[in-house]
Chain A
Amino acid sequence: MTEEVNIIDKVTQQEYKYGFTTDIEMDTAPKGLSEDIVRFISAKKKEPEWMLEWRLKAYRHWLKLEEPHWQNFSYPKLNYQDIIFYAAPKEKIKLDSLDQVDPELLKTFEKLGISLTEQKRLTGVAVDAVFDSVSIATTFKEQLKEKGVIFCAISEAVHEHPELIKKYLGSVVPYTDNYFAALNAAVFSDGSFVYIPKGVRCPMELSTYFRINAENTGQFERTLIVADDASYVSYLEGCTAPMRDENQLHAAVVELVAHEKSEIKYSTVQNWYPGDKEGKGGIYNFVTKRGSCEGAYSKISWTQVETGSAITWKYPSCILKGDHSVGEFFSVAVTNNYQVADTGTKMIHIGKNSKSRVVSKGISAGHAHNSYRGLVKVNKNAENSRNHTQCDSMLIGNRSGAHTFPYIEINNKSSQVEHEASTSKIGEDQIFYCNQRGIGTEEAIGLIVNGFCKEVLNQLPMEFAVEAQKLLAVSLEGSVG
C-alpha cells in the first residue's frame, strides 16, 4: 500500500500551471549569434583562455554544419539571429549565502515548489537552480563537500576544478557530434557539474531545476556528471518555462562518465511549456544526452518522463565500453494536442558481457505524434552482450499517432537482442468501467495511463514519482470528449 500512493484523485483541474513570468532586471546579450557573442558569454563568465578557445572551435565547427531535418516531424528553420543566447538576472555581488539572492528569484522557485532555503527542505535532496543562463544557488554544498562530492554550477567548476573540466568536458559528447551539440558547446552558459570520488555513495539525491524565464531566449545548459570507481549517484533534473506565443529553443548537452563499478542514475521530469491547444508556442527541446560506461561493471540508467515541450527530440544513450557494463533506459513520453516527441535511446555495446534494457512507453492524445526511435548496436568484440527492448504505445482518441523506428546492428554471433512492441488504445470499455465505479473520465485516463507507465514510474525516486504521476494526469487533461 505504501508504494500505492494514489495521487490522481488529488489532481486538480488545471492547465499548465508554471506559465507565469518573473519580473526581474536582466542582463542580456544582444540578439543573434556571432564570434563576438561567444566571446561576450565567455567574458561574462570570466572564463580562462582555454575555455574560450574550446567555445570558438565549437562555434567555427557549427558554422560548417547544416540544421538537421531527417526526423519524423518538421519544424521551421530556426533563425539563430533572433535568439538571445545569454540572459542573467542582474547580480553584482558574488553570492555567499542565500540571503543575498534576489527575493524575487527565491519566490519564483518557491512557486515552482523548489525550496532553496535548506532548513525548509524536508527531503534530503540537494538542488542546483538554474534561471535562464545562470545557476542561482546550490543547496547542501557543505554537507556534500565533507564526502568529497562536488556539486556546483558548471561555470564555477571551470574556475574551481579546471583539471576535471578539461579532462571530461566534451569527452562523451564532443562538439563535433551534431549540430545542436556544437551550438551548445559554443554558447552554453550554465548547468551542473557533479563529481563523486572513488568509493563514495552520494548521501543524497542531487537535483537541478531549470527555468527559462526571459523572452526570445534560448537555454543552453550543460551538465557533466563523473562517477569515479565504485561510486554511486542519483541525479534528477526538472524544468519549466513561462507560456509564450513564440517557440523557444532549448538545446542542452548532458554527459555522464561512469568509471569501474560505479553507477549513475539520471532521472528527468521534463515539463517545458508545451504550447497551447492549437499548437502555438512551446519549447523546442533538442537535447543531446549520452553516458559512457567507461569501466568494467559500471552502470548508467536513464529514466525520463517527458510531458512538456512543443517538440521533444532526444535520445539519451549509453556507450557500454566496460566489460559487464549495464545501460538502462526507461522512458515515458506523453504528447497531447499538437505536441511532438521523437525520442528513444542508443545502446552501443563494445564491452564483453555488456547488458542493456530499454522500456519505452509512448502516449499520444489529441493531434499529437509520438515516435520511438532506438538503436541497438553490438560491436564485433562485445561477446555475449544482451539487449532487451520493450516499446509500448498507447493512443487516446482517433487523431493521434504512434510510430516506432527500431534500428538493430549486430556484429557478433554470441549476442542476444530482443525487441518487443505493442500499441493499444484506451478503450471506451475501460473508461466506462471506471465511470461506473464513480471515477470521472479525466481521472480514469490518469489512472489507466499511470498503470500503463508503472514500470517506468517505479524507477523514479519516490518524491519525483509522485510529481510525475500528477504531471501525466494534468498533461492529458481534455484529451477525450
Chain B
Amino acid sequence: MLSIKNLKAEIEGKNILNGINLEVKAGEVHAIMGPNGAGKSTLSSVLAGRTEYQVTDGSVSYFGKNLLEMSPEDRAREGVFLAFQYPVEIPGVSTVNFLRTAVNEKRKYLGLEPMEATDFLKMMREKMELVEMDKSLTSRSLNEGFSGGEKKRNEVFQMAMLEPKLTILDETDSGLDIDALRLVSNGVNKLRNKDNAFIVITHYQRLLDYIVPDFVHVLYKGRIVKSGDKELAKELEVKGYDWIKQEVEAAQ
C-alpha cells in the first residue's frame, strides 16, 4: 500500500527527516515511537501534504502512485486520513455539515453522485454507534468548545465516516485520560480490517496496549533506527529511549 524510500524533508532549512524507509501493507498496524523532536509529527505532516515541509529527497509511493505529487485534498480523497494531534475548531460549521461536504467531495472525485440526505444520516447513525460518539456533538460547531477527549473521538468518528485505506494517528493519545483512551482505541480497533492499514504515532507505549501493532519502529534524529514487534514497545516503556540513543551514537 505505502512504500517510503529514503525520505528526507526539511522545514525552514532545518533537516528533520534524514532518510526514512518504511513499507506498509494492507491489514497492518505500524507503530512509530521515538523521543520528542525525532521527527514523528513531521513524518505525518509530510504524508498528509503540509506545504511548510519541503521534501528534499526520496519517494513515497501509495498504491503505486507518487503520493508527494498529489494535493492534500486528493491524498485524502484517495484514502489517506490523518487524525490530528490538535484538531482545529471551525466556528459555525457543524460536524454534520462538515462531514457531508467531505464525503461528497470524495464521492465527486471518485465520479459518484452526492449522497442522498437520508442515506447520509443513516450512515452517520451507524458510525456514531460504532465509535460510541455522543449524538449531541455532531450538531455542534466542529470541535468548538470540545474537550480534548471529545476532539479525539470526533477524529475517530470522521475516520469511520470517510473509510480511509491508510490512517495516520498522530499522537492521538496525548491529553487523553484512561477512559477516553479506551473509547478512542475501541473505535480504531472496530475499524481495523484486512484492507486498511494504520500508522500509529505515539510517544508512549500505553496506547499500544489497546491498539496492538504488528510492527514497532523507533524514530530518532529523522531515521528509523530500530524495528521490531510489540515487545519492542514494552522494552521502551521499561528502559526509555536512552539506550537506543546510545546504540545509535555507538554505531556512528
Contacts and interface: CB of A to CB of B under 8 A. Distances in A.
Contacts of B106: 438
A4 B100 contact: yes
Query: Among the interface residues A430, A432, A452, which one has the most CB atoms of the partner chain B within 10 A?
Result: A432
A66 to B, nearest CB: 43
A438 B73 contact: yes
Interface of B is mostly: helix
B190 to A, nearest CB: 20
Interface stretch (A20-28, A48-56, A443-451): A443-451
Contacts, number: 88
B201 to A, nearest CB: 15
Contacts of A8: 101
Contacts of A143: none
B228 interface: no
A58 to B, nearest CB: 44
Contacts of B50: 432
Contacts of A6: 97, 100-101
Contacts of A122: none
B104 interface: yes
Contact of B87 (A433, A438, A440): A433
Query: Among the interface residues A4, A8, A435, A452, which one has the most CB atoms of the partner chain B within 10 A?
Result: A435
B105 A443 contact: yes
Interface in B70-104: 71-73, 75-77, 81-82, 84, 87-88, 90-94, 96-102, 104
B121 A1 contact: yes
Contacts of B84: 433, 436
B133 interface: no
Contacts of A436: 48-49, 72-73, 75-76, 81-82, 84
A447 B105 CA distance: 13
B102 A438 contact: yes
A443 B72 contact: no
Interface in A434-481: 434-441, 443, 447-448, 450-455
Interface of A is mostly: helix
Nearest to A457: B92
A447 B101 contact: yes
Nearest to B121: A1
Given A450-B92, A451-B92, A439 B101 contact: yes
Nearest to B78: A438
In this complex, the interface size class of chain B, counting residues with CB under 8 Å from chain A, is 35 or more
A9 B104 contact: yes
A440 B105 CA distance: 8
Interface string B206-223: 000000000000000000
B108 interface: yes
A36 interface: no
Nearest to B143: A433
B109 A430 contact: no
B100 A452 contact: no
Contacts of B94: 4
A392 B62 CA distance: 43
B158 interface: yes
A439 B98 CA distance: 9
A427 interface: yes
A455 B73 CA distance: 29
A289 to B, nearest CB: 26
Contacts of A427: 88
B238 to A, nearest CB: 35
Contacts of B91: 451-452
A427 B52 CA distance: 14
B75 to A, nearest CB: 8
A4 B92 CA distance: 11
Contacts of A434: 90, 98, 102
A427 B90 CA distance: 10
Interface of B: 48-50, 71-73, 75-77, 81-82, 84, 87-88, 90-94, 96-102, 104-106, 108-109, 114, 117, 121, 141, 158, 162
30 contacts: A1-B121, A4-B96, A6-B97, A6-B101, A9-B104, A9-B108, A9-B114, A432-B48, A433-B84, A433-B87, A434-B102, A435-B73, A435-B76, A436-B48, A436-B49, A436-B72, A436-B73, A436-B84, A437-B162, A438-B73, A438-B106, A439-B73, A439-B101, A440-B71, A441-B73, A447-B90, A450-B92, A450-B93, A451-B90, A451-B91
The 3 closest A-B CB pairs, nearest first, are A451-B92, A451-B93, A435-B72
Given A439-B105, A447-B98, A447-B101, 11 more contacts: A433-B84, A435-B49, A435-B72, A436-B48, A436-B72, A436-B84, A437-B76, A437-B98, A437-B102, A437-B105, A451-B92
